[in-house]
Amino acid sequence: MLTRLKRPLLPLAAALTLAALAPAHAEGPTLLTVTGSIENTNRGPIDPDYDKLFAFNDASFDKAMEFDTSALASLPQQTIRADFPKDGDVVEFTGPLLTDVLDAAGASGQTVKVSAIDGYAIEVPLEELTEKGAMIALMRDGKALGIGDFGPTQVVFPRAEREDLSEMSDDWWIYQVYNIVVE
């Protein structure tokens, strides 16, 4: 049985507000799809004739929450400073915290699988990502992340702001993120 992550839960009113910000369906191109153990959905199952990237990567789901640019931008935005790649220049990343994205999807679970367009994926305890301050970055130094660089979304951490993250490797800094599965 899946249980809610052991972290401070949002007050009910805040959680409902985040859920209300997500559109009934993505109006623009979908940047990020959250699947798995979620309550809030705005799309149905995979259509192998239409969902080519999901089909190519053998993904399977019956329901999902799609986020387009405006849905992600409507969530509370944070700006963090980090060096990426590790030991590179310190830059500013802007976007919603992973916890806010998952709260908007009504996610519950203990692990997440984060998948990139190029097939790279990690499966890690959700609690570790949230404790480290994981963000779904949409911008780097004020410029939107694009496909062909690190976009459309990237998981980043406030490495330049937190001493406990100063030696963190880049393994969890997934770029070109398109899917998060919560289990």
Residues lower than pLDDT 50 in the chain: 1-22
Global pTM value: 0.86
* pLDDT given at position 27: 79
* pLDDT tens-digit map of 6-24: 334 444 444 444 444 445 5
* pLDDT tens-digit map of 116-127: 999 999 999 999
* pLDDT given at position 81: 97
Domains of the chain: 29-182 (3.90.420.10)
- Render the burial of 68-106: b for 16+ CB within 10 Å, e for the rest: bbebbbbbeebebebebeeeeeebebbbbbbbbbbbbbb
* pLDDT given at position 77: 98
* pLDDT given at position 28: 85
* pLDDT given at position 17: 46
* pLDDT given at position 148: 87
- Whether the CB-CB separation of 138 and 95 falls below 8 Å is answered with yes
